[in-house]
Amino acid sequence: MIATATQFNSVPVGCGARGFARLLPDILGVLGSRRYLRAPLCTSPRLESAVWSAVRAYEPIDVVLLWGKGPKLRPDRYEYLTAEFLRKYARRVSSVWSPGVRYRVLFADTHAALNGYSGTASEEYFAAVRSMLGSQNTYGTLSSLWDRAGLTWDSVSQRVLGLKEGEWQEVDTALGLSAAAELHCVGGDPQWSARVYYVVRQAEGRILADAFSDCLYATSEGPDRHRLLPGLPVLHMYSWARGRCARPWNVATAHDTLSPVGGELASCAA
């Protein structure tokens, strides 16, 4: 028998394996709601383990996500819409699992630096985003994870130089990284930056999988970009509404209309 929402909200600390087996289908059902996810939630032992860790301790389910930096100096309408979308998803989960979810937001300062944004501009933007998102989340930076893992720009450059040309061409054709770098890089060589970005995402994926082993990973990227994602259970979420997958920091508000920054406004299948 599948447990009801009322039963979920009274689950005792130390819920046993049998109790968890009854709760799991409904928890996964709400986590995978297609109102919020652009792709089905793939079940796996790692996903079940992450949910079990939260249920056993009667804690929120931890969801780690990256928040980047574009040309905007401060958050505007689309950051606020994205923040509200995340809150709605958390409320939806808490209607079944009362502790809900806890977002562990990592500011992608390494990506901002690669794209040519100054540390000061990034810090000011991220501080404004943190204030907007609120104190119920936890916050960190990718650069702090680099430091703990011993990853440096020099070591990244060495890995880029070791890329086989055939591998890179296949990746670039599939993911369009050079084209994206042409749009978003504000300094330096976009072709080199695209290769660096690929190596950085792979290295960060391994670091994230180790550092957040009991977390889910939320992203607006689709399953086709799996080689850029960490080996964690993935929530392929819309950005701020069904069918919208643009990164909010790359979309600007102008006269109350959608105004893409640096290219077409990204959308995705509903």
Given this model, what pLDDT does residue 4 score? 38
> Quick one: 195 exposed, middle or buried, by C-beta within 10 A (0-12, 13-18, 19+)?
buried
CATH number at residue 153: 3.40.50
DSSP, res 74: S
Given this model, what pLDDT does residue 254 score? 54
Answer yes or no: are the C-beta atoms of 42 and 235 closer than 8 Å: no
Strands (E), the chain: 61-67, 101-107, 138-141, 216-219, 234-236, 251-254, 257-260
Given this model, what pLDDT does residue 258 score? 46
Q: Note the pTM of the prediction, 2 decimals.
A: 0.89
Given this model, what pLDDT does residue 252 score? 81
- 2 domain-assigned: no
Query: Whole domain around residue 89: which residue ranges?
Result: 55-260
Instruction: Give me the amino acid identity at 4.
Output: T
- 20 domain-assigned: no
- 1 domain-assigned: no
Answer yes or no: are the C-beta atoms of 8 and 197 closer than 8 Å: no
Given this model, what pLDDT does residue 22 score? 80
- 36 domain-assigned: no
Given this model, what pLDDT does residue 5 score? 39
Low-confidence ranges of the chain (pLDDT < 70): 1-19, 254-270
Given this model, what pLDDT does residue 262 score? 38
Answer yes or no: are the C-beta atoms of 214 and 49 closer than 8 Å: yes
What is the count of structural domains for the chain?
Answer: 1
- 34 domain-assigned: no
Cα distances (Å, whole numbers) of residue 235 to 37, 207, 219: 7, 18, 6
